[in-house]
């Protein structure tokens, strides 16, 4: 007779809360030791890295400048991408190439300003956003296909495609898409004002911010209340039970990669439209990678990525502040 020893305890609520804290603490300690080994004062370095950004926050608030606006604009791409990744990771689909899908989305979306420079219509913005999402989806479809057809790890293929997309962008802005009137700078024509997302009132809050909030809420609803969300969670925690429930593993790979890729592409084109204003060799400060942290910090809950996205956006603002105040490149 086979003996079955089955674990009875449910997942401890305490551990769920504590384990990320332990991880953060260990990270700080390890980081501190590294600084110490390099002959730097670890406390000073940690202070600059983590607390300086908050100080920056207060300084600007005192000058009657509304930094939450900037924060929301920086958080928007992180949330948009992070919410999609949270869904994908819940299904154990490890798309870590969001930075590449962001780039692909920006490239395809920029087809409108580059080739249809004078096309001015209410459809212009919709076409650009749609092309951006499609670009991200196409780029994410490659790892999805390779995973389902050949079993190639999506972790590695999606990551490799980041480098490929960035080199493609580099080639485009230095070659065929370079603005002929741009004094030989590697950049496309600047987007016209009808190729830019509308902003709310006088602020810099653009439509992309709203899209990020909507996406996070919609995906949270999908995960909590729909059969599709149930399918994704089931395949993530128990593939065998997922098969027994009649859910398709290959289908979830397609769904998760296209969803997270599409959102990354959308973030890419929105970022290019409203923050960068044209295609350049570098269009993102690594939003696609930071969004991986956002997804995990948000406990793989799309709504959690809203908070996590804002938290990590502070570090971007802090980096800009440090660049200004200390004259160092962050």
Partner 1 sequence: MVGGDIHVVHTPRSQKAGPARLSLKDLSLPAEGQFSVALKSISLDVKGGEVVAIAGVAGNGQSELFDAISGERTLADAGMLSIDGRPQGTVGVNARRRAGAAFVPEERLGHGAVPAFRLSENVVLTRHSSDASLVKSGLLQKSGAGDVSERVIKTYDVRMGKVDPEARALSGGNLQKFVVGRELDREPGILVVNQPTWGVDAGASATIRQAIIDLSRQGSAVLVISQDLDEIFEIADRIAVISRGELSDAHPAGELSLQQIGLLMAGAHEKKEGVRHAAVA
Partner 2 sequence: MSELLAIVLTIITASTPLLLAAIGELVVERSGVLNLGVEGMMAIGAVCGFGAALASGSPYLGILAAMAAGAALSLLFAFLTVTLVSNQVATGLALTLLGLGLSGLIGESFVGQPGVKLERLHIPGLSDIPYLGPILFGQDLLVYAALAITAAVAYLLFRSKLGLVIRAVGDSHQSAHALGYGVIPVRYACVVFGGTCAGLAGGYLSLAYTPQWIENMTAGRGWIALALVVFGSWLPWRVALGAYLFGTVMILGFAVQTKGLGIPPQFLSSLPYLVTIIALVVISGNRALTRANTPACLGQPFVPDR
Give the position of tokens 């990669």. 257
Token code pair at residue 18? 């504590």
Structure tokens at 318: 């802090």
When asked if residue 243 is in the footprint of partner 1 (CB under 8 A), the reply is yes
Using CB under 8 A as the binding rule, whether residue 327 contacts partner 2 is answered as no
Kindly state whether residue 226 participates in binding partner 1, applying the rule CB under 8 A: yes
Taking a C-beta distance cutoff of 8 angstroms, is the pair 215, 83 a contact?
yes
- 199: which strand partners? 206
Among 17, 22, 126, 237, binds partner 2 (CB under 8 A): 22
Half-sphere exposure of 264 (CA within 13 A, CB side): 40
Give the C-alpha separation, 156 to 90, whole Å: 18
Q: Which of residues 218-277 bind partner 2 (CB under 8 A)?
A: none
By CB under 8 A, residue 58 contacts partner 1: no
Nearest approach in angstroms of CB 237 to partner 1 is: 5
Could you tell me which stretch among 204-212, 220-228, 270-278, 290-298 binds partner 2 (CB under 8 A)? 290-298
> Taking the mean position of all CA atoms in its chain, how far away is CA 201?
26
CB nearer to partner 2: give 191 or 254: 254
Reduced to 3 states (helix: H, G, I; strand: E, B; else coil), residue 134 is helix
Our finding on whether 241 is near partner 1 (CB under 8 A) is: yes
Residue 270 sits at the vertex; the CA angle it makes with 68 and 141, to the nearest 5 degrees, is 130
Q: Is 180 in the site for partner 2 (CB under 8 A)?
A: no
Q: Is 45 in the site for partner 2 (CB under 8 A)?
A: yes
Residue 293 interacts with partner 2 (CB under 8 A)?
A: yes
Residues that bind partner 1 (CB under 8 A): 1-4, 6-11, 225-228, 230, 234, 237-238, 240-241, 243-246
């Amino acid at each position: 007779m086979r003996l079955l020893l089955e674990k009875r305890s449910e997942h401890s609520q305490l551990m769920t809360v504590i384990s990320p804290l332990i991880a953060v603490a260990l990270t700080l300690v390890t980081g501190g030791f590294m600084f110490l080994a390099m002959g730097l004062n670890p406390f000073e370095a940690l202070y600059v890295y983590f607390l300086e950004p908050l100080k920056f926050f207060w300084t600007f608030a005192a000058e009657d400048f509304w930094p939450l606006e900037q924060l929301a604009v920086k958080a928007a791409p992180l949330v948009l991408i992070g919410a999609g990744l949270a869904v994908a990771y819940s299904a154990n689909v490890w798309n870590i190439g969001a930075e590449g899908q962001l780039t692909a989305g920006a490239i395809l979306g920029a087809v409108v300003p580059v080739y249809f420079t004078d096309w001015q219509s209410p459809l212009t913005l919709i076409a650009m956003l749609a092309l951006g999402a499609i670009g991200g989806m196409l780029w994410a479809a490659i790892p999805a296909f390779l995973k389902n057809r050949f079993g190639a790890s999506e972790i590695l293929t999606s990551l490799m495609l980041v480098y490929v997309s960035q080199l493609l962008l580099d080639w485009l802005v230095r070659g065929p898409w370079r603005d002929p009137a741009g004094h030989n700078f590697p950049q496309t024509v600047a987007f016209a004002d009808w190729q830019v997302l509308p902003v709310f009132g006088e602020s810099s809050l653009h439509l992309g911010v709203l899209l990020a909030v909507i996406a996070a809420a919609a995906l949270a609803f999908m995960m909590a209340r729909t059969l599709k969300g149930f399918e994704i969670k089931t395949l993530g925690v128990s593939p065998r039970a997922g098969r027994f429930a009649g859910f398709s593993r290959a289908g979830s790979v397609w769904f998760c990669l296209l969803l997270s890729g599409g959102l990354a592409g959308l973030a890419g084109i929105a970022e290019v439209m409203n923050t960068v204003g044209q295609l350049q060799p570098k269009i993102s400060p690594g939003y696609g990678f930071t969004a991986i942290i956002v997804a995990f910090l948000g406990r793989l809950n799309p709504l959690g990525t809203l908070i996590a996205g804002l938290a990590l956006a502070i570090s971007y603002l802090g980096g800009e502040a440090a660049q200004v105040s200390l004259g160092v490149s962050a």
